[in-house]
Chains A and B, each alone.
Chain A
Amino acid sequence: MADEERTPTDDDERRTIARLATDTLPRLIERMTKSELGELEVREDGWRIRLRRPVALTAGAGDTKSRPAAERPRPTSAGSATSAHAERISSTARAGQSTRLDTTRSTVTSPAVGYFTSRDGVSNGTKIASGDLLGHVDVLGVRQEVVAPIDGVVGGLEVESGQAIEYGQRIALIDVNVQ
C-alpha cells in the first residue's frame, strides 16, 4: 500500500520520495525484519521514516476459544509484517502492504504492558490521520507511542488515561472516513 495523499509540490520532493520508497524503505524493512526491533525511526532530508511492527501478528488466531471470564480484549488488528509510514509536516505517506480485511474500521492495540495515557484532545469522534499520536503506554517510565494506523475518526475508545493496560489490549477503533 502506498497511498500518497498529497502530490509532491516540486520535482525535488518527488525525487526524494522516490528515493525513500525505492531505496531507503526496503533497506529499513529488511533491517528491521532481521532484527528484534519493535520500532525503527530515521530522519533524512527533512523526512522522518518510522517503521513499526504490527502489535498483533497472531491477529484473531485464538478468537474462537477465548477465556471464559475474558475482560481481556484480544488484539484483533490484522497487520502486515512490517508497516511503515513517512511523514513531513502534515503530509503522510504510507508504504508497506496491508492485509487488513475490514476496510471500514481498524483496531488500535497496545504496543506494551503498562499505564495508558491518551493524548490531550483525543476522544470519541476526534478526526485523526494515520500516524497521529493517540497517546502512550508508560513502561517503567519509558513512553511507547500509540499511533493511529489509518486515517479516520476515533470511536470506541476503551481505555482511560491512567488505566493499566496489557500488551495487545484494544485501545480504540478507528472508523475510516466515508466521503
Chain B
Amino acid sequence: MFSKVLIANRGEIALRIVRTCRRLGIGAVVAYSEADRDTRAVHLADEAICVGPPESRRSYLSAPSLLSAALVTGCEAIHPGYGFLSEDDTFAEMTRAHGLAFIGPPPEVLERFASKAGTRTLLGRHGLPTIPGSGMLRDDAQALAEAERIGYPVLIKPSAGGGGKGMRMVRSPRELQQAITVCRSEALAAFGDDSLYLEQWLEENRHVEVQVIVDRYGNGVHVGERDCSVQRRHQKIVEEAPSPALDVGQREALAESAIRAVVAAGYENLGTLEFLLDREGNYYFIEINCRIQVEHPVTEMLAGLDLVAEQIRIAYGEPLGYGQQDVVMRGHAIEFRINAEDTEQDFQPQAGVVETYLPPGGPGVRMDSHLYSGYEVPPYYDSLLGKLVVWGPDRAAAIARARVALDELVVDGIVTNIPLHRALLSHSTFLDGEFTTNLLDRVGSGAFLAAARAA
C-alpha cells in the first residue's frame, strides 16, 4: 500500500480523505492554500504544506504547485478529491510522469471519458440509452443551430466539471445567446475550461445516478443508485438512496446496465453514471463523473463500504476482491448538504466566522464537516460546510432521524440553508418521494420556507 498520499483538496472532502488514510495507516499530507491554514484537515494531517495563495488558480488548481508539494514531502500518490483537478487528465498524466500514482482513473481513462458528448456516444454503443445533445460547441452560431436541431428547451452544460456551474436551461434562441456567455465565464472560472455543449431538457425528470467500482483488471460492481432530484439551479441539495421512484426490478435493470456498459468501455476506479428518469420510468444516460462525489456517504451508509478506501486500493493496483453478490445494500439513507448561503437572498454565498458549531449525533447519524466553533468560512471557495447523512431501516425512519438531527445541528454566526432542509422535510412532495429536479426552482424556495413557517 502507499505509505504517503498528498491530499490536493480542501474542506470536508480533505478531512474525509485524511480519515481514511489514517485508518489505513497511510501518511496523509494535506496541500492547502493560505486561506485554509486553520482547517481541520490541516490540523489532523500527518503533514501539511502550503501550496499557494487563496485563489484556486494558484493553489488547488495549480498542477505544478501540487506536484511539487507531493515530491518535496515524499508522497507516492495524489488524491484529488472532487472538483478542482479531480477529473483533469493532463494533471493525472503529469502526476504519473513524476512517478506518482493518481487516485482516480488513469489518464487514458480520464481522457476517454473527458468529453461528455463523446462519452454519451461511447456508452450508447455499450447499451445505455442516451439523451439527445450536441457535440462541443465552437461558437454561438453553431450553438443556435444545434439547439434548433435538438429542440427547445435545451440545457447548456460545461464539458468539464459539475456542480451546476456554467449550466443554464434556455427556452429560446434569445435566452440561449444571453446565457451562453455567462455559462462560458462560469465554466472557465470553475474548471479552467470554457467548452460547452447542449442537451435536450426533460421538463419533469428525476436525477438518478449509479455508483460503480471497477478495478484495473476489469472486475466491477455497482453499489446501487442515488436519487438527487432535490436541486436548485442544477445544484444538488438533498440526495437519497434508494430512489423512491424506482421499484426493485427497475433499480436492478438500471444499475446492471450501467456497470455492464462502463466495464465494457474500459472504465477504471470509482465512478458515477448520471441518468435522467422520466415519468414513465425511462432512463437516459447523461454523463459520468470520474471521481469521488460529494454525496458518496449515502451509498456508504447502505453498503457499509468506505469508497475512498476503494479508490486508494484500486489506484494502488489491488484487485477488487469481491463480486456483485457480496455488495449488500440495507435500509435508506438521506444526505443534506449544509451550505453557507442565504436562502432568503437568492442563495447568496456567505463568508464569515462560525461562532458555534454543534453536530448532531445518535444512531444512524453521520456528519461529514470541516467546521468547528470559531472557524472562518473563506470567501474564495464553494459554500459547502458539510453533509448531514442519516440512515434508517426504511425511508420513513430515515426522515424521522433527519428531523431530529436537523433540529440538533447548530451552525451559528453564519447564514446557512438549514431552514430550507427543515422546510423540505415538512413538504408533502418530498415526503411522498415525488420530487423532480425543476420543482424547487419552479415553486421557489421562498414558497417552501413560507409554507414551513406557516405550518
**Residue pair A58, B58 in contact (C-beta under 8 Å):** no
Please determine whether A36 and B55 come into contact, CB atoms closer than 8 angstroms: yes
Identify which of B57, B69, B98, B374 contacts A113 (C-beta below 8 A): B69
Query: Is B439 close to A, CB under 8 A?
Result: no
Evaluate contact between A142 and B57: CB separation under 8 angstroms.
no
Min Cβ gap A67→B in Å is 7
A-binding segment of B15-23, B31-39, B247-255, B338-346: B31-39
Q: Tally chain A residues at the interface, Cβ within 8 Å.
A: 25
Measured in the bound complex, the distance between the Cα atoms of B53 and A112 in whole Å is 10
> Does B51 count as interface, using CB distance less than 8 angstroms?
yes
Cβ–Cβ contact B48 & A72, under 8 A: yes
Pick from A119-127, A160-168, A171-179 the stretch touching chain B. A160-168
CB of B64 within 8 Å of the partner chain: yes
Whole-angstrom CA separation of A77 from B424 in the bound complex: 48
Residues of B contacting A169 in the complex (Cβ-Cβ under 8 angstroms) = 50
Question: Which residues from 64 to 84 on chain A have a C-beta closer than 8 Å to any C-beta of chain B?
Answer: 65, 67, 72, 74-75
CA of A140 to CA of B63, assembled, Å: 10
Contact present for B34 and A58 (CB under 8 Å): yes
Closest CB of chain B to A115's CB: distance in Å?
6
Q: How far is the CB of A35 from chain B (nearest CB, A)?
A: 10
Bound together, the chains give a CA A57 to CA B58 distance in angstroms of: 13
Are B50 and A164 closer than 8 Å at their CB atoms?
no
Q: Chain B residues near A26 (CB, 8 Å)?
A: none
Distance to closest chain B CB from A28 (angstroms): 19
Given A72-B48, A169-B50, answer yes or no on A113-B34 (Cβ-Cβ < 8 Å): no
Is B43's CB within 8 Å of the partner chain A? yes
Specify the main secondary structure of chain A where it touches its partner: loop
- The answer to whether A36 and B49 touch (CB under 8 A), given A58-B34, A140-B67, is no
A168: which B residues are within 8 A, CB to CB? 34, 50, 53
Also in contact, A62 and B37, with CB within 8 A (given A113-B51, A166-B50, A167-B51)? yes
Q: Which residue of A lies closest to B376 (CB)?
A: A62
Q: Please, which residues of chain B bring their CB within 8 A of the CB of A8? A: none
Q: Within the assembled complex, what's the spacing in Å between the Cα atoms of A115 and B365?
A: 45
Say whether A57 contacts B43, CB under 8 Å: no
Interface residues of A in 130-179 (CB under 8 A from B): 139-140, 142, 164-169
Inter-chain contact B34/A56, CB cutoff 8 Å: yes
A4 to chain B, nearest CB (A): 30
- Closest chain B residue to A112 by CB distance? B65
A113 contact set on B, CB distance < 8 A:
49-52, 65, 68-69, 72
Is B54 part of the contact surface with A, judged by Cβ < 8 Å?
yes
List 5 A-B pairs, minimum CB-CB distance, nearest first: A164-B72, A166-B50, A167-B50, A114-B68, A139-B68
- A residues in contact (CB < 8 Å) with B: 36, 38, 55-58, 62, 65, 67, 72, 74-75, 112-115, 139-140, 142, 164-169
Report B's interface with A, CB cutoff 8 A: 34-35, 37-38, 42-43, 48-55, 57-59, 64-65, 67-69, 71-73, 98, 374
Task: Please name 20 pairs of A and B residues whose Cβ atoms are closer than 8 Å in the assembled complex, sorted by A.
Answer: A38-B58, A58-B35, A58-B54, A67-B37, A67-B38, A67-B43, A72-B48, A72-B50, A112-B52, A113-B50, A113-B72, A114-B72, A115-B72, A139-B68, A140-B64, A166-B49, A167-B34, A167-B50, A167-B51, A167-B59
